[in-house]
A and B are shown apart, each in its own frame.
Chain A
Amino acid sequence: MAQSNLATALPPARARADKESTLLANLKMIAMKLFGFVFTVFISSVIVFFSRWLVPGDPINFLLRGRSPNPEAIAEVTAIYGLDKPPLEQYWHWITGVLQGDFGRSLQYRQDVTDVILDRLPVTLGLVVMAGLMIAVLGLAAGIAAALFRGSWIDRGIIAGMSALAAIPSFVGAIVLIAIFSIQLGMFPSFGSGEGFGDMIYHLVLPSLALALSFIAVVGRVTRSAMMEEFSREHVEVARSRGITEVAVVFRHVLRNSLGPIMTVSGLLVAGLLVSSAIVEQAFGLAGLGSLLVSSVDRLDFPVVQAIVLIVVTAFVAINTLVDLLGPVVDPRLKAGKGAR
């Protein structure tokens, strides 16, 4: 009697212990990754701030290049950066401001950097969101179609098209799209971001397509190859032999298992979009963050440059971390403590 009690009692207890240890392992992994995120962003902020020290000479001269160094301007810059204080204190002064959303004052606009950036944010966000949607829809569709018709002329055609697209840099894509759709066909505007929400979307069609083109190719490729790998797995054979329709096999068994690598790549691409958007914004004359960065470099407005570089790097690292953390949620096979890789 006692023996049988023991026998029935043991498995649940062991299962619970197992569960607790994987939970602990998961928490440990999350904590490690969050620490890595904070550490990398901290070092990046140190690099961005102290990069100014690489330029030889007086920091006031560097910051006021191309402007008249009158006493008020010198006093203003000294106050913004705390230039009369030791370097570490200057960093502390800057980073505590940044953490409260204060990036200092723009030298060209004579406004708070934060206000200048917030002004430009909607266009860049719209651009990245629209490009992201195009990449997800067209990239997935192309990849799925190629995998469905694998080996046929459809597959070969999609692969060839993808390879060609992947070779087109965004500035070339922008020029070609402007030439065809805005100058030859007159279908879309080639300049500015328009007035109001609907008009902005209309104005952003060509720019986001230019931004998306090469990324569509990447997502299409990854989708196809991830799905092809799944097709060769046993569980797909089993599903088929159970008489499940091919469409259901593709979407429920193949695509679902392919989401992990697709998501990893897509997440990282969003980060790439942030940088490439500068090129597209320039080509289409859009007032976004990227064109603000370029014009600030042009007009020697270093506080704005510093702010945008830090924001982009932080976003880049944050997306990386997020993709890392979400991997096991999308694909439970990647969970910590489970060796099934």
Chain B
Amino acid sequence: MSIQEAPRKAISRLSLHRTRWGLLISAIFVVVVILAAVFAPLVSPYPPAAVDLLNVNSAPSAAHLLGTDALGRDTLSRMIYGARTALYGPIFVILLSTILGVILGLWAGWAGGIIDAVITRIFDIVLAFPALLLAILAVALFGKGLTAPIIAMSIAYTPYIGRLTRQLVSGEKNRQYVSAYQVQGFAPGWIATRAVMPNVLGVVGSQTTQNFGYVLVELAALSFLGLGIQAPAADWGNMINEGQSALVAGNFLPAMIPSLAVVLIVVAVNSIGGWLSDKLGDPFA
């Protein structure tokens, strides 16, 4: 039995890459978030954890452009620092799962036979664990923070990359250039990694970009549940969680700003991913 990937494929994202302006705005937004994350200490007006109890739940003003939360912390500064964890987690997960997935998928697709069967079966079993659930289990085992969830999510996302790579590699294997190399006596390992792998990496890369949004949302969800990065560190997920108390007090911004940021960054990254897969000709898109 194989766990199907239908919902993931079917969750068609809001993607703006078909219009020039949509793509441009997405790219600018992503660049702004990256710059904010990198230069957080320079650009944020206040330290992210600076509490100002005389100034709680204040509306946007010249001093606090996006207002303050229930503890009087500056929302803009927390957003800027939160961009760091928002990007940091998914980047690691994407890197790890892509490396693992490409290695296993290449091995399975190239070797075929029993190796293929075993790796495929392993992928199926990993897919039986929803990514968020695996991350929660990892936190239960190793404690809160970012490390355990990042490793768990990387494992959970490996089968998506692995299956795609395997499928692409077994298609490439029958192409003429491969037999040309074989006739010339190149070692199978050399052909697989030097000749075949570069041909599948483009498509894998665009798939990976599309996973970025899912990982970001799932890590933010984990942090929303209070199991991710811990307070007082600022993260968009735990900002939404903490913003709920301000929400009840009638102050919407501390919860709404990070919510909006999560939605926008996912839409923007997906637009870039969509543009990439158009460029690279994703056969499964």
Do residues B128 and A40 form an inter-chain contact, with CB atoms below 8 A? yes
From A171, which residue of chain B is reached at the shortest CB distance?
B224
Do residues B220 and A214 form an inter-chain contact, with CB atoms below 8 A? no
* Cβ-based interface call for B4 (8 A): yes
Which residues on the A side are within 8 Å of B137 (C-beta)? 48, 51, 305, 309
Pick from B4, B133, B141, B244: contact of A313, CB under 8 Å? B133
Q: Report the Cα distance A171→B220, complex, angstroms.
A: 9
Q: Report the Cα distance A33→B4, complex, angstroms.
A: 13
Q: Report the Cα distance A268→B128, complex, angstroms.
A: 11
In the complex, how many angstroms separate the beta carbon of A276 from the nearest chain B beta carbon?
8
Q: Report the Cα distance A172→B265, complex, angstroms.
A: 13
From A170, which residue of chain B is reached at the shortest CB distance?
B221
* Cβ-based interface call for A106 (8 A): no
Q: Which of A206-221 contact B (CB under 8 A)?
A: 214, 217-218, 221
In the complex, how many angstroms separate the beta carbon of B85 from the nearest chain A beta carbon?
16
A-B contacts, 5 of them at CB < 8 A, read: A36-B2, A179-B252, A294-B226, A297-B227, A309-B136
- Enumerate chain B interface residues (CB-CB to A < 8 A): 1-4, 6-7, 10-15, 124-125, 128-130, 132-133, 136-137, 139-142, 217, 220-221, 224-227, 237, 240-241, 243-244, 247-248, 250, 252, 255-256, 259, 262-263, 266-267, 270
* Cβ-based interface call for A234 (8 A): no
Do residues B262 and A169 form an inter-chain contact, with CB atoms below 8 A? yes
Interface size on A, residues (CB 8 A): 66
Interface string of A140-177 (1 = CB under 8 A from B): 00000000000000000000001110111111100110
Do residues A175 and B132 form an inter-chain contact, with CB atoms below 8 A? no
Do residues A221 and B12 form an inter-chain contact, with CB atoms below 8 A? yes
* Cβ-based interface call for A278 (8 A): yes
- Enumerate chain A interface residues (CB-CB to B < 8 A): 32-33, 36-37, 39-41, 43-44, 47-48, 51-52, 54-55, 162-164, 166-172, 175-176, 178-179, 183, 190, 214, 217-218, 221-222, 261, 264-265, 268-269, 271-272, 275-276, 278-279, 282-283, 293-294, 296-298, 300, 302, 305, 309, 312-313, 316-317, 320-321, 323-324
In the complex, how many angstroms separate the beta carbon of B249 from the nearest chain A beta carbon?
9
Q: Report the Cα distance A205→B193, complex, angstroms.
A: 54
In the complex, how many angstroms separate the beta carbon of B79 from the nearest chain A beta carbon?
15
From B5, which residue of chain A is reached at the shortest CB distance?
A268
Do residues B240 and A167 form an inter-chain contact, with CB atoms below 8 A? no
Pick from B141, B255, B256, B263: contact of A167, CB under 8 Å? B263
